Amino acid sequence: MRLGDIMNLLEAELLNQRVDLDIELESAFAADLMSDVLALARPGSLMITGLTNIQIMRTASMIDMPAVVFVRGKKPPLETIELAGKLGIPFMITYKTMFETCGLLYEAGISPIHCEKR
C-alpha cells in the first residue's frame, strides 16, 4: 500500500515536507514499547505508536522502518521532528486511536508481523 493511500485512509496529517508518498508498505508494527519494536518489527514495515519522543525516530532508523504514524493526535516535540528530517523518515499524525488505526490498515491488506512462540 502506498504511503499516500495510508495517509488518506487514516485521515492523517503529514508533518514533514518533500516526502515520497509512493513508498510501498506491506506490513506494520504497532507498539508504545520501543524495545518490542526492536525485538519484533521487520525492516520495511510501518511503525504505529502513541509515543513521540526522539527515540521513536532512532528506533525506526535502527530497524529500517521507512515511516511512522503517531496515533491519538499526539504531536511530536521539536527534537523528534528535527531528527526525522535528518534521517529522512516521513511521519504523520492521525486522530484515530491505535486500535482503529490498526483495524483500518489490517482491513486494507497491511500484514502483521509474525511473533514467534518462545
Q: Which residues bind other proteins (CB under 8 A)?
A: 31-39, 43, 49, 51, 53-56, 58-59, 61-64, 79
Report how far Cα 37 is from the mean position of its chain's Cα atoms. Answer: 11
Contact 34, 57 (CB under 8 A): no
Smallest distance, other proteins to C-beta of residue 34, A: 4
Output 31 or 105, the one with its CB closest to other proteins.
31
Smallest distance, other proteins to C-beta of residue 9, A: 25
The dihedral over CA atoms of 32, 86, 18, 23, expressed in degrees to the nearest 10, equals -50
CA distance 84 to 81: 5
Output 12 or 41, the one with its CB closest to other proteins.
41
C-alpha cell at 18: 518533500
Assign 14 to helix, strand or coil.
Answer: strand
Output 6 or 37, the one with its CB closest to other proteins.
37
Smallest distance, other proteins to C-beta of residue 107, A: 27
Smallest distance, other proteins to C-beta of residue 84, A: 13
Output 49 or 94, the one with its CB closest to other proteins.
49
C-alpha cell at 11: 485521515
